[in-house]
Structure 1
Amino acid sequence: MGTATPQLKVHIHGALNVGCQPPEIIEVILQMAVYAGFPAAINGLNVAREVFQERGVAVGT
């Protein structure tokens, strides 16, 4: 819930490696808000954005 940024990055990279699409990853993180709280979900989205930028993955709007 906000203290596992390095691990979250690894899992997002792994999800992309096995074929998950960025919108699917974003949706899972948004669902996290119900269980972990809105601040944790926002932190997760920021981590996802970093990973997408590192990999040059475009996220549709």
Structure 2
Amino acid sequence: MAVAFLNGTSSVGKTTLARAIQEESATPLLYWGIDALFATGPAKWGGGRDGPLSRDGLFYD
């Protein structure tokens, strides 16, 4: 198993690169954005947004 972490500022092409890698790969690869990961958390604990308990739970700046 391999993990590729693409880091960069907004609108630099991270998603485009990830999808291009998926298309060219001989093996199936998953693309999972950090927004989708944080959105799986309960809303009151942040859930990727500014919930009432987000600073005690799930948040990112």
The structure that has the greater radius of gyration is 2
Q: Which TM bucket (shorter chain)? A: 0.3 to 0.5
Q: Which has the higher contact order (CA 8 A, sep 6+)?
A: 1
The structure richer in helix per residue is: 1
Q: TM-score, normalised by structure 1?
A: 0.40
